[in-house]
Amino acid sequence: MATSGWIAVLTMALAPTAGAVTLPVANPGFEDAPVGESWQAPAWYDASGAGGNFVDETVAHSGTRSLRLEHRAPFAGVSQGLDAHAYRGQRLVFRAMMRSHDLAEGTSGLWIRADTAAGEAAAFEHTYLQPIAGTRDWESREVELIVPASASTLQFGIVAGAEGSLWVDDVELSASQMQALPEGLTARQYLDKALDLIQQYAYYSDRIDWPKLRASSHALSKEAGQPADTYPAIKQALAALDDNHSHFVSPRMMTHRRSETVREDYGFRSEVLGTVGYLRVPEFMGGGEAPSAAFATQIRTALRTQAEGGACGWIVDLRGNMGGAMHPMLSGLRDLLGEDELGYFVHRGDRRQPWRATGEGKPAQVDAPVAVLIDGQTASSGEAVLVSFIGRANTRSFGTATYGVSTANAPFPLDDGAALAITTALQADRTGRTYGGAIAPDEPVRSDATAVSLADDPVVSAARTWLQARPACQPSGK
C-alpha cells in the first residue's frame, strides 16, 4: 500500500473529456473590459460586492489581458451563470489558468454550483482543498460538477479568499454525458456499496453514527436514477469522517490517472549551490510502472551526479509537494534514505505496516547531512517523504508546518469508474512517533514570496548555513 496524494488531483491540467461540448462563457479571456480600475466586466458579476477585480494589461496567459483579483473583505471574486435545464445529468468541467503572487493560504480558486428553482444549492464543488497560494506561475486548475436533476441554474466563478494577488485567464466550461448505469445495478445499490466501503475501511469510521448517516444518505439520494445522483451523499459521508483527506474521485479523474505516460518534465529541479546539492522533489501523480520509474530515475541520476561533483550535503525541497505516489519519490532518494525501514502506516488497532525505499545497490550517501524544506503545501505523500527523513541522523527540517494530512489514503474503485480515496491509516516515523496532522519543522523559517532565485530564498539560505557547518562540509571532512 502507498500513501496516495489524491488531494492534488485537481491542480493538474487534464485533457478535455472525449465528446465534451464547450459551453458559452462570455468574455472568457477578460479581453473586453476597461483597464486599470475596479470594474464590472461584461457578463461577469462582482460576487462579493467589495471590488478588488481588475483588468491587467501587463500579465496574460494568452491574448493581452487577464483578470487580477486583489483581496477585499470578505473576499474578491467574479461569477456568471447559465440555465441548467439542458445540462441535467451531465458532467460539467470548469477550468481556468491561474497565477499568484504572495497569495496567503486560504479559500482561493474555482467554484461551481447548481441551484434549484427555489434558489437552494443542489450541488456545489470547489478547489478550496487544493488551493493556489504563494507565488506560482500559470497553472491549469479545474473543478468538476455533476448537474443534478433538480438543477435550474448554474453559477460558476473565481474567488481570492486571502491576502495577495491572483490572476485568471482562459476560462472554459464544458459538458459531457455521464457513463451509463452498469446493467443490473441500481443507484441505491451503488450508494450502499460506497457506504459499506467507507464504514469497513476508514481509519476514523468509529466517529460516525452509521444508522443516522445511512438514513441521511438515502434521503439525500431518494430521487437518484444513476450513480452520479448519489455523489453528493457519498461526499457527505466522506466529509463526515473529518479526516481532511478522504475524498471522492470522479470517473474522469480516474481515467486520467490510468492514462498517465512518461514525461520529460515532472517539475523536478536540480542545482548545485556551492558544495551543496539542491533537489526539488515535486508531487507525482503518474500511474503505472514506466512513469514511476522515470520519475525516480530523474531524481536518482541528479543526486548521483551531484555526489560525483563533490557535493558534501543535500537540500531536499518538498515545498509545494501536495502528494501523489510516495514510492517513486522514496526510490529516487534512496541513496540518502538508505534501505532500512523508514516509517509505518498505522492502521486501526495499532497495526503497523513498514515502508522502505526500494531499489538496487548499496545506498551511497546515507551518512551525508540533509536539510529538508517544507511548507503549508507539503501534503500527503509529500509529508510521508518528510516522515521518512525524521529520525535519520544528520538531518534537519526548515520552513513552515506542513498541510496536515500525514495519513495514508487507499483507492476503492466503484462500478462506474469512480473511486473512493479513503484514509485508512496514519503515518509514523522510524522512531515510532505517530502523526496524522500538520508536522512542524525543526527550524521555522518563513519563505519570501519576492525571492526570484534560490540565493534569495531565506529557507534555502538557512538550510545552506546549517549544512555548511556540518563536519562533512568542512575542509577536513572532504
Q: Assess if residue 287 is contained within a domain.
A: yes
Q: Assess if residue 423 is contained within a domain.
A: no
Q: Is the dihedral of CA 153, 154, 157, 161 positive or negative?
A: positive
Strands 313-317 and 247-249: unpaired
pLDDT of residue 2: 43
Higher-confidence residue of 450 and 193: namely: 193
What's the whole-number average pLDDT of the chain?
Answer: 86
pLDDT band at 11, cuts 50/70/90?
very low
Higher-confidence residue of 226 and 260: namely: 226
- Cα torsion 9, 11, 12, 13 to 10°: value is 140
Of 75-84, 233-242, 381-390, the least confident: 75-84
pLDDT of residue 260: 56
* pLDDT for 214 beyond 70: yes
Give the span between the Cα atoms of 128 and 110, in whole angstroms.
8
Q: Assess if residue 254 is contained within a domain.
A: no
pLDDT digits (tens, 9 = 90+) for 232-267: 899 999 999 999 999 998 887 776 665 555 566 667
3-state secondary structure 411-475: EEECCCCCEEEEEEEEEEECCCCECCCCCCCCEECCCCCCCCCHHHCHHHHHHHHHHHCCHHHCH
Q: Assess if residue 70 is contained within a domain.
A: yes
pLDDT of residue 185: 79
Q: For residue 74, is the peptide bond before it cis, meaning its omega torsion is within 30 degrees of 0?
A: yes
* pLDDT for 314 beyond 70: yes
Q: Assess if residue 363 is contained within a domain.
A: yes
pLDDT digits (tens, 9 = 90+) for 415-433: 888 899 999 999 999 999 9
**Is the same domain home to 23 and 149?**
yes
Of 114, 113, 147, 143, the residue nearest 130 (C-alpha)? 143
pLDDT of residue 3: 47
pLDDT of residue 297: 93
**Is the same domain home to 171 and 293?**
no
Residue written as cell 572532504?
478
Could you say which of 143, 177, 211 is where a domain stops? 177
Q: What is the pTM of this model?
A: 0.73
Could you say which of 177, 212, 233 is where a domain stops? 177
pLDDT band at 8, cuts 50/70/90?
very low
> In which domain, by residue range, is 156 found?
6-177
pLDDT digits (tens, 9 = 90+) for 29-40: 988 866 555 556
**Is the same domain home to 171 and 286?**
no
The CATH number assigned to the domain holding 68 equals 2.60.120.260
Of all residues in the chain, the percent with pLDDT exceeding 70 is 87
Could you say which of 154, 177, 200 is where a domain stops? 177
DSSP structure class, residue 4? B
* pLDDT for 49 beyond 80: no
Strand-pair partners of 370: 314, 395
pLDDT digits (tens, 9 = 90+) for 140-152: 888 888 888 888 9
Our count of domains for the chain comes to 2
